[in-house]
Amino acid sequence: MSIHPSAVIAAGAQIPESCTVGPFCTIGPDVVLGESCVLISHVVLDGRTRIGARNVFHPFCAVGVSPQDLKYRGEPTETMVGEDNVVRESVTISRGTVGGGGVTTVGSGNLLMTCVHIGHDSHVGSHCILANAATLAGHVIIEDFATVGAFSPVHQHCIVGKYSFIGGGTIVTQDVLPFSKTSSRRENKAFGVNSVGLERRGFSSERVRALQKAFRLLLVSKLNTTQALEKMRELEGEDVAQLVSFIEKSERGVIK
């Protein structure tokens, strides 16, 4: 095991021999690391934190730290991180709260860029990109393959749909449609299908065209949302069905 002599590791922490712990890292007693993780330097892992294999933590990130919630009284809540994530400098991930389910989760294969914040009881899926200073308030859900642009805050209890792309500097206060491009000029708007991102993820041209038809009904036609949903249900394809289901289940409303 490669542990720098300046690292502070509490008794009880579980660290496989394949891990590398760099200088001035601090690991709490209830932390469990997976195989081949790398802590470059000045990394803080705290609380009841379970981390999968092959994650890389860059300097000054803090994972599993206490939530920024005035109601928190030190309850033994958790943080769970999957595999193959890259956590860049100064990222903060807060553990859960009792009122919010007790756990904050991050999936696998994500890139969390510099100064990203993942608030308590938030759930980030897999293969997501959170760009510099993207900020998730508590209780946010980021579905798989989503991209949140730089300096974009996401309001509590919002859901960012899978395969969506949020442009930099967008203030998200409602749910973001799956498969969409959403950005802020004077006000937040959805700008149709994230076609480039979908193609990069292996979507066929037929799947993209089906989604484009659905988005035209939702965003371009003069139909209201209820009328557009009726027409969208007539279209074929599992992706369109998932889009319809997302809209129907949204509690905060969706950005159109």
Give me the mean pLDDT over the 56-67 stretch.
Answer: 98
| Domain shared by 113 and 225, yes or no | no
- CA angle in degrees (0–180, nearest 5) for 136-199-150: 25
Q: Domain containing 207: what range?
A: 198-249
pLDDT at 212 over 90: yes
3-state secondary structure of 105: strand
Q: Residue 108 carries which DSSP code?
A: S
Spatial distance between the Cα atoms of 214 and 210, rounded to a whole number of angstroms: 7
In a domain, 153, yes or no: no
List CB contacts of 89: < 8 A, sequence separation 6 or more: 58, 59, 60, 61, 114, 115
pLDDT digits (tens, 9 = 90+) for 155-208: 999 999 999 999 999 999 999 999 999 987 656 778 889 999 999 999 999 999
Alpha helices in the chain (DSSP H): 195-200, 205-215, 225-232, 238-249
Query: Residue 83 has which token pair?
Result: 């595999």
In a domain, 232, yes or no: yes
Spatial distance between the Cα atoms of 249 and 130, rounded to a whole number of angstroms: 24
Give me the mean pLDDT over the 83-103 stretch.
Answer: 97
Domain finish residue from 107, 127, 142 = 142
* Beta-bridge mates of residue 138: none
pLDDT of residue 185: 64
Give me the mean pLDDT over the 120-135 stretch.
Answer: 98
Question: Total domain count for the chain?
Answer: 2
Give me the mean pLDDT over the 63-69 stretch.
Answer: 97
pLDDT at 37 over 70: yes
**What amino acid occupies position 79?**
T
Domain finish residue from 98, 118, 142 = 142
pLDDT of residue 256: 86
Give me the mean pLDDT over the 237-250 stretch.
Answer: 95
| Domain shared by 42 and 127, yes or no | yes
pLDDT at 35 over 60: yes
- The answer to whether 59 and 89 are in contact (CB under 8 A) is yes
**What amino acid occupies position 123?**
H
pLDDT at 89 over 90: yes
| Domain shared by 30 and 125, yes or no | yes
Give me the mean pLDDT over the 73-86 stretch.
Answer: 97
Read off the CATH number of the domain in which 100 is found. 2.160.10.10
Spatial distance between the Cα atoms of 233 and 214, rounded to a whole number of angstroms: 9
Residues assigned a catalytic role = 120-121, 138
List CB contacts of 127: < 8 A, sequence separation 6 or more: 107, 108, 109, 110, 144, 145
